[in-house]
A and B are shown apart, each in its own frame.
Chain A
């Protein structure tokens, strides 16, 4: 009976509700920045330098990648042009060779009248 008289259900309900509210509020506050370092501690300068270096290298790698991509595109255009030139030259050469071959197969015969080869000796 004494326990029943002491038990305050309303107060207990409020206590549980308040505890839950506090718990979830705290959860939300922490979850907003779960890995953030505490503001009271000073950041390690070596870590800051490393982070800056990482940023710089990241940026440089982007620039280099852009330059390489541009050069590769230009190279591909030049290569296509050069291949076309080579193909054209090959066609020209093939045509010239054909002409030359035809010319060699039919030699021109010319009839010439030479003076008779006569040797006259007087002794």
Chain B
């Protein structure tokens, strides 16, 4: 029997990355909808949102590294960068690679916010939904643990959380209330 350490590490880090991505999306969506009112500062939520995104990227890197080191599924370093090169479930794996690359683009766009302008940055931020969708598809179709009840309910819970936060955000904006006061608005870095 092979040593499953890297295989378990790859699976655990993949699921953790997905949950961190979900947390980051939910945090990002609650920046303006402010479900906790004034109890939580918008700046703190923005910081948590960015920090969770960075943590998610770090965990994605760990996921990729563990996959290349593991012998259960042969994945070359090139397959981590080019979608479709992986021999293991090529389409779902390509979705995962695309999601990771788009996530990097979104994270980099934080730093280029002034350069590309607020409007372009906001438009680019819609890509996070594509990232989340691709990550969900990748997890469901390529994940080894999808068939297990705890893992499947985890995916369902994540999708429900993002959908709920999105709906909350849309409803809050349409009402026009609960606007973030200027003094609490996050400062662009």
A40 and B140 CA atoms in complex are apart in Å by 11
Interface string of A18-54 (1 = CB under 8 A from B): 1100111011011100111111110000000000000
B187 on the interface (CB 8 Å rule)?
yes
B55 touches A15 (CB 8 A): yes
Does A7 sit within 8 A of B, measured CB to CB?
yes
The answer to the question of B84 belonging to the interface, with a C-beta cut-off of 8 Å to chain A, is no
The reply to whether A15 and B48 form a contact with Cβ atoms under 8 Å apart is: yes
Known contacts A6-B189, A26-B12, A26-B15; is-contact A19 B59 (Cβ 8 Å): yes
Please, which residues of chain B bring their CB within 8 A of the CB of A11? 44, 47-48, 51
A19-B146 contact, Cβ under 8 Å, with A5-B43, A12-B51, A26-B11: no
- Grouping DSSP codes into helix (H, G, I), strand (E, B) and loop, the B interface class, with mixed when no group exceeds half, is helix
B29 within 8 A of A: no
List chain B residues, Cβ under 8 A from A2. 187-189
Interface size bracket, A side: 20 to 34
Residues of chain A within 8 A (CB-CB) of B8 are 27, 30-31, 34
Given the known A-B contacts A6-B187, A26-B11, A41-B147, are A15 and B4 also in contact in the complex, defined by CB atoms under 8 Å?
no
Choose from A3, A12, A19, A34 the contact partner of B16 (Cβ within 8 Å): A19
* Complex interface: chain A residues within 8 A of B47 (CB): 6-8, 11-12
List residues of chain B with CB within 8 A of the CB of A8. Answer: 41, 43-44, 47-48
Q: Please, could you name 11 A-B residue pairs with CB atoms under 8 Å apart, sorted by A?
A: A2-B187, A3-B189, A5-B187, A6-B43, A8-B41, A11-B47, A12-B47, A12-B51, A19-B16, A22-B15, A27-B9
Chain A residues engaging chain B, CB cutoff 8 angstroms: 2-3, 5-8, 11-12, 15-16, 18-19, 22-24, 26-27, 29-31, 34-41
Additional pairs, 9, CB under 8 Å, beyond known A23-B16, A27-B8: A5-B187, A6-B186, A11-B48, A15-B55, A27-B9, A29-B145, A29-B148, A34-B4, A38-B146
